[in-house]
Amino acid sequence: MDAVFLTFILMLSIFLGFELITKVPATLHTPLMSGANAISGITVVGAIGLAGTGQQDLSNWLGAAAVALASINVVGGYMVTDRMLAMFKKREG
Amino acid sequence: MESTQLLIQLSYVVAAGLFIYGLKLLGSAGTARRGNLLSAIAMLLAIVAALLDQGIVEYQWILIGFVLGGVIGAGAARLVQMTSMPEMVALFNGFGGMASLLVGVAAIATATGTFTLVTIVLSILIGGLTFTGSMVAYGKLSERIGSAAIVFSGQQIVNSLIVLGILASAVMFCIEPANAQWLYLVIGLSLLFGIMAVIPIGGADMPVVISLLNSYSGLAACAAGFAINNNILIVAGSLVGASGIILTQIMCKAMNRSLSNVLFSGFGSAGGPAEKVEGEIKPISVDDAYYILEAASNVAIIPGYGMAVAQAQHVVKELTEILEKNGTEVNFGIHPVAGRMPGHMNVLLAEADVPYDQLLEMDDINPRMENVDVAIVIGANDVVNPAARESEGSPIYGMPVINVDHARTVFVLKRSMASGFAGIENPLFYKDNTRMLFGDAKESIGGLIREFGN
């Protein structure tokens, strides 16, 4: 049942994603991509659970490495996107 | 459900909503920055919620991971040059993929049931090929390795064998999860496949590859979400997956090629017999170019990757201002695949303070081209090649291009007569209304600015 439920979520999000992204203008495609990149760092949420089990086993180390890698994505992705978007200005007047 | 668990799940729901609303705000340049901020808040919320989980008894490794990743990410985000954004995005895609692979492997210890095992294999597979694929893309973009397509005979067969190997070892892993050799085989072959999939793709096709890898990094997160039964990973991952797929589609359409053609053909590596173009090249001096520009009332600038390489965006902006002061209307025509990633030119010009409403998409600038006195092509080649319209034998025939040759005069700023990235002859250079301004783009434009100053 869990599997069906998760697949259901998957299907809805994909359609929603298509609807949202097709509306993004070409001029914002690079920030969109780096922003999406930051969102894909969501893996960090999964990695946290694996890195904090307190058992000094392989899973734990792998989880910690995943936290580090995904954090690069999250922090770097959001910061660089913000830096880019701050540069986009409209013609004055 | 006990109350902490409920709180965590509710936070995920709110985070998902914020991600979605953030992406919606990214749909317009005026609200995009706020959208990104909302998305970052959603991420923070999801992370805090995850930290509340009672399965977590030890925080030190999480903290070390955070600090390490955060410092590296923040440093990279502050230091990266806008011209190098494609490389950075490629690297980050790779890290995302690797993280999903690691989560997949770590989840094996607690996995129950075939469905979970299948999703674990998926997250390892997609994560692994995203990682190595992105590293190769990074190497090509930063020119640490040759950016040309690498093709060899029997490539398709080798790749097919790898895919079969992945399938076989994946099935065996699901049957015998305790036997680690199947796991290692899946990991190894996925990593190998990522390399093999990207080496036959040439530098000019990088916008497609980056978009696709972007999509994969999302899908990998999505698969990891299935593996550890976490719905926020699925929602966020599939949003990214959808985003990457749409960008991939846009890029392919802008090159008039199918995705499979981009992925498997090794475009621009072999190349058919070059068509001989009749005509004469007419160079122009900065002096003469100045007189024509000075009299022009409507100028269109078409930038390409060469502008990024020459770091010419700031002098271009300066020239634009001078022309506008002179009463000339100036617009920019941006081809979807100009540069090495979607929207690359727009970011470079935004960095140079060119307002985004001055940047016209191909479909907006083409109908105006007849009224343009001077079209200035800066470091672009294939995206303004009239052969795409005129010569059926050309490899880029049918690709939508910016019709600069319809302008009264065309200036092409170019280093030398070498053909473009794709190695295709460009009849534009031989047209009657085309003048070649040879030299470094930054210096040529600097020269024009000095002429206006005199």
Mean pLDDT across A45-52 = 92
Option in A30, A40, A44 nearest B342 (CB): A30
The DSSP call for residue A76 is: I
According to DSSP, residue A56 is labeled -
Contact between B169 and B185 under an 8 Å Cβ cutoff? The reply is yes
Please say if the pLDDT value at position B113 is more than 90: no
Query: Is B78 close to A39, i.e. CB distance below 8 A?
Result: no
| Tens-place pLDDT, residues B5-46 | 999 999 999 999 999 999 999 999 999 999 999 999 999 999
**Per-residue pLDDT, A71:** 97
Long-range contacts (CB closer than 8 Å, 24 or more residues apart) made by B9-16: B11/B45, B11/B46, B11/B48, B11/B49, B12/B46, B12/B49, B12/B230, B12/B231, B12/B232, B14/B42, B14/B45, B15/B42, B15/B43, B15/B45, B15/B46, B15/B49, B15/B232, B16/B42, B16/B231, B16/B232, B16/B235, B16/B236
Q: What confidence score (pLDDT) does residue B270 get?
A: 41
pLDDT of residue B267: 54
Q: Which residues of B touch A90 (CB under 8 A)?
A: 29-30, 355-357
pLDDT > 90 fraction of chain A, expressed in percent and rounded: 76
Which pLDDT band, with edges at 50, 70 and 90, does B268 fall under?
Answer: very low
The answer to whether A51 and B315 have CB atoms below 8 angstroms apart is no
Q: Which of A12, A13, A14, A40 to mutate to test the interface with B (most CBs of B within 10 A)?
A: A40
pLDDT in tens, B225-262: 999 989 999 999 999 999 999 999 999 999 888 888 88
Residue B272 lies in a domain: no
Tell me the HSE value of B130 on the side-chain side, using a 13 A CA sphere: 36
Question: What's the pTM?
Answer: 0.90
pLDDT of residue B421: 53
Q: In the predicted model, is pLDDT for residue B420 greater than 60? A: no
**Identity of the residue numbered B21:** Y
Decide if B426 contacts B380 (C-beta within 8 A).
no
Q: Confidence class of residue B269 from pLDDT cuts 50, 70 and 90? A: very low
For the question of residue B382 being annotated catalytic, the response is yes
- How many Cβ atoms are within 10 Å of B278's Cβ, its own excluded? 7
> Is A42 a domain residue?
yes
Mean model confidence pLDDT for chain B? 90
- β-partners of residue B147 are none
**pLDDT > 70 in chain B, percent:** 95
Question: In angstroms, rounded to a whole number, what is the distance separating the alpha carbons of residues B343 and B102?
Answer: 31
Least confident interval from A57-61, A89-93, B64-68, B413-417: A89-93
Q: With contact defined as beta carbons under 8 Å apart, do B198 and B265 qualify? A: no
- Determine, yes or no, domain membership for B247: yes
Q: Identify whether A93 is part of a domain.
A: no
Q: Residue B128: pLDDT band by 50, 70, 90 thresholds?
A: very high
Of B382, B405, B432, B440, the active-site residue reads: B382
Contact (CB, 8 A) for B234 and B111: no
CATH at B424: 3.40.50.1220
Query: Could you read off the pLDDT of A54-87 as tens digits, one per residue?
Result: 888 888 999 999 999 999 999 999 999 999 999 9
What is the distance between the terminal CA atoms of chain B, rounded to a whole angstrom? 78
Terminal Cα-to-Cα distance of chain A (whole angstroms): 58
pLDDT for the residue B273: 47
Average pLDDT over residues B216-230: 94
Q: Token pair for residue B67?
A: 């600090």
Query: Residue A91: inside a domain, yes or no?
Result: no
Cβ distance of B350 and A16 shorter than 8 Å: no
> How many independent structural domains does chain B possess?
2
B270 domain-assigned: no
Express as a percent the part of chain B with pLDDT over 90. Answer: 70
Answer yes or no: do B257 and B327 share one domain. no
Shared-domain flag, residues B137 and B215: yes
| From B27, B78, B106, residue closest to A63, measured CB to CB | B106
Pair (B401, B435) in one structural domain: yes
Q: What is the mean pLDDT of chain A?
A: 92
> For residue B192, what are the domain limits?
3-264
Give A87's contacts (C-beta < 8 A, 6+ positions apart): B347, B350, B351, B353
Q: Are residues B179 and B320 in the same domain?
A: no
Q: Which residue has the higher pLDDT, B205 or B131?
A: B131
Q: What is the phi/psi pair of residue A55, to 5°?
A: -90, 125
CB contact under 8 A, A30 and B344: yes
Q: Are strands B298-303 and B329-334 parallel, antiparallel or unpaired?
A: parallel
Chain B residues 303-342 with a CB less than 8 Å from chain A? 334, 336, 341-342
pLDDT at B422: 56
The CA angle B104-B107-B111, to the nearest 5 degrees, is 120
Is B275 inside any structural domain? no
Q: Looking at the structure, do residues B81 and B199 belong to the same domain, yes or no?
A: yes
User: Token match 């998957």: residue?
Assistant: A10
Cβ atoms B61, A92 nearer than 8 A: no
Query: Is B379's pLDDT higher than 60?
Result: yes
B433 within domain boundaries: yes
Which residue segment(s) compose the domain that A81 sits in?
2-85
Q: Classify residue B136 by burial, with Cβ atoms within 10 Å: 0-12, 13-18, 19+.
A: buried
